[in-house]
Amino acid sequence: MEKKKKSKVIKEKKPINKATLVLSIVAGIITLLLVASIFLQFRTVNESRELDIENMRDDELRTQIASYKSKYEETMEQYTANQNTINEYETAINENKETTELLDQEIEQSKTLLGLTNVKGSGVIVTLTDTDESLYTYVSDDLLLLLNELKYAGAEAISINDNRIINLADIVTLNDGLIILYGDVRLTSPYVVKAIGDPTYLMSTLSIKNSGYIDQMKANGMAIEVKQDNNIEIGAYTREIDSKYLQEVQ
């Protein structure tokens, strides 16, 4: 590009001719456009490198787009809810009103999200049964995978055999084959897993051909039954959630 500038300068020393002037202006504009486009191109390449989307296949890109879309929607929803609460607090402050009620509402909301309240709603019920025809018996990994699939499909509340599953719930299989939840709750077949969320989305995620949970289990000869239900009730987690080591960051 420097070369171009130099030649322009040299040119201008000569007596200016109209045609030459037009030509160099046109050339200048073209150059500008091309430089800009190359610059843009370089930037796009850099940006895509940042996300490492260069090596992604179409289906991966679509999955990522869908995931960002739903994240955007959920975030906006929460943002709007927060703004409403902020407004309510501000009104209460301005009018010198009690805010205990507002605080109670916030506490109730957090407790619900933690799993400390009874909830109901639409969703799916998955029943896993050990049968004589099964190639093996269900183990904790099968349950953990199912929880992960349900969460991926947007489940808001989950229980296994009427035990509410909270964040960081642990399920292990002991050497003798026993499946233990929360370190001391024994789970036995049939494993009835209830999940509240969008029933269609939950169902379709589990039903994806071949790689979906249902087909994966069936490929192993396991018995699995899934049905949608518009009135699922899930009980609260009734114990204390440990928080001996958690401290606030100042």
> Segment 150-209, which members bind other proteins (CB under 8 A)?
151-152, 154-157, 166-172, 183, 196-198
Copy the structure tokens of residue 219: 């490929």
Choose which of 103, 139, 174, 219 interacts with other proteins (CB under 8 A).
103
**Could you write out the DSSP letters of every residue in 107-140?**
HHHHHHHHT-S-EEEEEEEEEEE--TT-SS---H
Q: Give min distance, CB of 189 to other proteins, in A.
A: 20
Task: Report the relative pairing of strands 157-160 and 119-129 from DSSP bridges.
Answer: unpaired
Give the whole-angstrom CA distance, residue 62 versus residue 3.
44
Cβ atoms of 140 and 165 closer than 8 Å:
no
Contact status: 142 vs other proteins (CB under 8 A): no
The number of residues that bind other proteins (CB under 8 A) is: 114
Choose which of 36, 113, 178, 219 interacts with other proteins (CB under 8 A).
113
Q: Measured from the CB atom, is 9 or 135 closer to other proteins? A: 9
**What angle do the packed helices 100-114 and 58-94 form, to 10 degrees?**
160
Site residues (CB under 8 A) for other proteins, limited to 15-54: 17, 19-20, 23-24, 27, 30-31, 34, 38, 41-42, 45, 47-48, 51-54
125 CB-side CA count, 13 A: 17
Contact status: 212 vs other proteins (CB under 8 A): no
| Main-chain phi, psi angles of 104, to 5 degrees | -60, -40
Q: Give min distance, CB of 131 to other proteins, in A.
A: 25
| Main-chain phi, psi angles of 207, to 5 degrees | -95, 5
Contact status: 136 vs other proteins (CB under 8 A): no
| Main-chain phi, psi angles of 206, to 5 degrees | -70, -25
Give the whole-angstrom CA distance, residue 15 versus residue 13.
7
Task: Point out which span in 125-133, 139-147, 185-193, 219-227 binds other proteins (CB under 8 A).
Answer: 139-147
Give the whole-angstrom CA distance, residue 108 versus residue 182.
24
Q: Measured from the CB atom, is 127 or 140 closer to other proteins? A: 140
Q: Is 54 helix (H, G, I), strand (E, B) or coil?
A: coil
Site residues (CB under 8 A) for other proteins, limited to 43-102: 45, 47-48, 51-65, 67-72, 74-79, 82-83, 85-86, 89-90, 92-93, 99-100, 102
Q: Measured from the CB atom, is 101 or 131 closer to other proteins? A: 101
Contact status: 229 vs other proteins (CB under 8 A): no
Give the whole-angstrom CA distance, residue 32 versus residue 25.
10
Choose which of 131, 148, 200, 220 interacts with other proteins (CB under 8 A).
148
Q: Measured from the CB atom, is 74 or 131 closer to other proteins? A: 74
